[in-house]
A = this chain, B = another copy of it.
Amino acid sequence: MGQKNLGVPRPARQRRKMQSVTMMDVAELAKVSPSTVSLYLRRPDAVSASAGSAIAHAIDKLNYVPNLVAGGLAAASSRAVSIIVPSVRNAFFAETVAAMQVALRKERLQVILGHTEYDEREEEDLVRTALSWAPAAVVLTGLSHSQATRRMLGKTSVPVIEIWELGGPQIDTAIGFHHEQVGAATARHLIQQGRRRLAFLGARMHEDRRARLRCDGFMAAAAEAGVSVDVMQHPAPSSAEVGAMLLSETMQTLPDIDGIATSNDHVALGVLFECERLKIAVPEKLALVGFGDLSFSAACNPPLTTIRPSGDLIGKEAARLIIEHMGGKAPAPQMTIDTRFTLLHRRSS
């Protein structure tokens, strides 16, 4: 290429070369125009069979990989979906993110992942960057966001989906369930089992708003039944260790507690371990209900009564909505999808 400039005013500039084979190369080889290749790539049956197979051939031969960045720029919307969760270390969100990625993948949509670490400032920043990508959709966790976040998201035409929480003002679409209802169901279950002195043991409740909502629902339902609740908290993230500590503390200060709910199954597992060490019979002396139905919950001693939140359904539904929206379906504003939850009554209660 460099040789051909003869009388030209200025030599071609030195540009970093980007992509070895472009759509133009494919078009040339297939003897069609670039726009036909582009069309073929997006709607294969909109081009004639002969052109189609020539293009397919050329793509294969040249080993062509389309540049989605260029495509995104030209189309004003990239095939990316931004998903922002507190942390994928948390099994609940990992489940949703995984389910979503797998579902979006079929439509060739990419997942851009962000972690807020339970920090609204961080979330705001993440949203700002997310919008820089002109994504097909933005997915956030929960309904609580900074003013600036709401403002940014309100102004864009990018679809916004809030997941894992229902029951507050939502930006656009929300998919999840009511955490107060989870708490209430837990309380009613324990009361139904004849328990009258209840406690709620929670980890990191100052940051985990949804755990707090479950706790609120728990207390409200108990109060309604005339049963009092003690709340024990620990600021560290959920773990069996925290659960063990909280139980040990509870038994010291409130030795006649007979029913316990925890902010999640990690904590409940720790409670179970500590009960074993303290020779507290579960469920005879103490009934226990967790939240999450994690991988160990059905296998422990005794098997743990818990709430299954269907995190994968949340992810699948979110993906479905995004895909439908891209297909040019109705914008579906302010939709709300309740994915529900299930109380699994096992032997710990």
Chain A residues close to B by CB (< 8 Å): 16-20, 65-70, 72-73, 76, 78, 80, 87-89, 91, 94-95, 97-98, 101-102, 105, 108, 110-115, 117, 126, 128-129, 131-134, 152, 155, 238-241, 243-244, 266, 269-270, 273, 276-277, 295-296, 298-301
Distance, CA A154 to CA B133, complexed state (A): 28
Residues of B within 8 A of A128 (CB): 65
Closest Cβ neighbor of A133 among chain B residues: B68
B134 with A69: CB separation less than 8 A? yes
Distance, CA A70 to CA B71, complexed state (A): 10
B88 with A97: CB separation less than 8 A? yes
Given A67-B132, A80-B112, A134-B18, also A299-B277 (CB < 8 A): no
Given A88-B94, A301-B276, also A76-B16 (CB < 8 A): yes
Residues of B within 8 A of A66 (CB): 132
Specify how many copies of this chain sit in the oligomer. 2
Least Cβ–Cβ distance between A297 and chain B, in angstroms: 8
B132 with A68: CB separation less than 8 A? yes
Residues of B within 8 A of A19 (CB): 76, 134
Set B72, B243, B295: member contacting A239, Cβ < 8 A:
B295
Given A69-B133, A112-B80, also A296-B94 (CB < 8 A): no
B299 with A240: CB separation less than 8 A? yes
Closest Cβ neighbor of A71 among chain B residues: B132
Closest Cβ neighbor of A117 among chain B residues: B102
17 contacts between A and B (CB under 8 A): A18-B134, A65-B152, A69-B69, A73-B73, A89-B98, A102-B117, A105-B114, A110-B133, A111-B114, A112-B112, A239-B296, A240-B298, A241-B298, A269-B296, A276-B276, A277-B301, A296-B296
Residues of B within 8 A of A101 (CB): 88, 113-115
Distance, CA A115 to CA B117, complexed state (A): 22
Least Cβ–Cβ distance between A309 and chain B, in angstroms: 15
